[in-house]
């Protein structure tokens, strides 16, 4: 097949070049992301960033157990129990002095 016969059968341009020109005439393909996706992505990135900052810089209160007597400096002292329970009866009254045993 000679060059003249190839031009006559396919035209002056390759079919791929003609197809590319036809697609370019239709316009550029553009994918738009909805604003909600951007907002959700931003929230997730901010949350992960805050979590990483907390894990790197955060600390918790140190717990210490000490033996001794609690003496209030002024007024009444509020104490909380170490474990959960129910008071079934009270054998003393407010203001009464108590001793061990």
The DSSP result for 63-77, as a single string, is: -----S----SSS--
Output the pTM of the full model.
0.35
What pLDDT sits at residue 75? 65
User: Could you give the 3-state DSSP secondary structure of residue 36?
Assistant: helix
How far is it, in rounded angstroms, from Cα 89 to Cα 80? Answer: 18
Q: How far is CA 57 from CA 7, 50, 60, 70, in A?
A: 73, 10, 10, 34
Per-residue pLDDT of the chain (101 residues; tens, 9 = 90+): 566 665 556 677 778 888 888 877 777 777 888 889 999 999 999 999 999 999 999 887 778 888 877 776 776 667 777 888 888 888 888 888 888 87
How far CA 38 is from CA of 30, 42, 52, 55, in Å, comes to 17, 6, 21, 26
């Amino acid at each position: 097949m000679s060059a003249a016969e190839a031009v006559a059968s396919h035209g002056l341009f390759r079919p791929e070049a003609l197809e590319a020109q036809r697609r370019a005439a239709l316009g550029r393909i553009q994918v738009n992301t909805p604003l909600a996706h951007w907002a959700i992505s931003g929230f997730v990135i901010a949350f992960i960033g805050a979590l990483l900052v907390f894990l790197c810089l955060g600390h918790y209160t140190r717990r210490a157990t000490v033996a001794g007597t609690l003496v209030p400096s002024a007024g009444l002292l509020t104490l909380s129990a170490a474990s959960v329970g129910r008071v079934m009866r009270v054998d003393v009254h407010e203001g009464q002095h108590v001793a061990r045993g």
